[in-house]
Amino acid sequence: MPFKLQSESETALPITCILSDVDGVMTDGKIIYDAAGLETKCFHVRDGLGVKLWMQSGFQFGIITSRQSEIVRRRATELGIQHVSQGQEQKWPEAVGMMAALKCKPENVCYVGDDLPDIPVMQRVGLAVAPADAATDTRRAAQWILRSRGGEGALRELIERLLRSKQRWEEHLCH
């Protein structure tokens, strides 16, 4: 049977859950320590609104990150993200557990990652996505490569694209 290329809408339709890395996706990937040794991260406000709109549309969102950071916990709390897993070097086993908790199958998951630890998850889910500035091998593993760089609205771009493909974006526009 010949291979059929899916349209963007066909690819987006089964996606009901986004799992995302943090550093390099939700942030620009820089880790900054101040003089007191406190870590800082910079999040884009449009990514935050995008995550809220995704969840308001009835879809799931979770975070899986290799690093451990109080800042990530705080940002997730601000956005209402309940499924957050930090300090995970092996992301696929954690993704399996999170999918079980969220009651979704791999084919219904979009995973957004920017570097090598993300590839095992990207290879096993319905939609693999990478920011424009992701590592070369990670971009190769992605089905969609975003125009935005990590920390510069990449999640918002993805969520808007998915919701538009599902004919769900317009319900969030102010009329």
Residues 162-170 have a mean pLDDT of 93
Q: Is 21 annotated as a binding residue?
A: yes
> Does the residue 103 lie in any domain?
yes
Q: Above 60 in pLDDT, residue 2?
A: no
CB-based contacts of 139: which residues, under 8 Å, 6+ apart? Answer: 130, 145
Q: Above 80 in pLDDT, residue 13?
A: yes
Asked if 141 and 124 count as a contact pair (C-beta separation under 8 A), the reply is no
Give the DSSP letter of residue 67.
S
Pick the residue with more confidence: 39 or 96?
Answer: 96
Dist. CA 40–CA 32, nearest whole Å: 5
| Three-class secondary structure of residue 21 per DSSP | coil
pLDDT of residue 175: 56
pTM: 0.94
> Does the residue 88 lie in any domain?
yes
Pick the residue with more confidence: 16 or 89?
Answer: 16
> Does the residue 51 lie in any domain?
yes
- Could you tell me the pLDDT band of residue 3, with boundaries at 50, 70 and 90? low
> Does the residue 129 lie in any domain?
yes
Domain hosting 85: range is 8-168
Asked if 18 and 61 count as a contact pair (C-beta separation under 8 A), the reply is yes
> Does the residue 173 lie in any domain?
no
pLDDT tens profile 102-158: 999 999 999 999 999 999 999 999 999 999 999 999 999 999 999 999 999 999 999
Asked if 112 and 129 count as a contact pair (C-beta separation under 8 A), the reply is yes
Q: Is 137 annotated as a binding residue?
A: no
In the chain, how many domains are there? 1
- The enclosing domain of 135 has a CATH number of 3.40.50.1000
> Does the residue 175 lie in any domain?
no
> Does the residue 17 lie in any domain?
yes
Dist. CA 76–CA 115, nearest whole Å: 21
Q: Is 23 annotated as a binding residue?
A: yes
Residues 22-50 have a mean pLDDT of 94
pLDDT tens profile 53-89: 999 999 999 999 999 999 999 999 999 999 999 998 8
